[in-house]
Amino acid sequence: ATMRAVLMYGHGGPEVLRPGTVPRPEPGRGELLVRVDAASVNPLDYKVRRGELRLLTRWRMPRMLGTDLAGEVVAVG
């Protein structure tokens, strides 16, 4: 199964963000899977997108950003 996501394809402005799909994760022990109803952008998200933290993260692209969300728990690990 897959889920919809906004993916970051490089560092820069909002143009590096595009909608896409990713494999639906299975929650591990002590984790939850949440169906997101609302999400927000916090200062860490836009600093990562702009590349201000690229020396610390060294993430492979594409990458999902964000941890601020509201939704419904759909699975428990």
The answer to whether the beta carbons of residues 52 and 42 sit under 8 Å apart is no
Average pLDDT, the chain: 93
Q: How confident is the model at residue 15 (pLDDT cuts 50, 70, 90)?
A: very high
What pTM does this model have? 0.80
What's residue 41's pLDDT?
A: 87
What's residue 59's pLDDT?
A: 82
SS3 content of the chain, % helix, strand, coil (to 5): 20, 40, 40
The number of residues making up the chain comes to 77
pLDDT tens-place string over residues 46-57: 999 999 988 887
Q: How many CB atoms lie under 10 A from the CB of residue 8?
A: 20
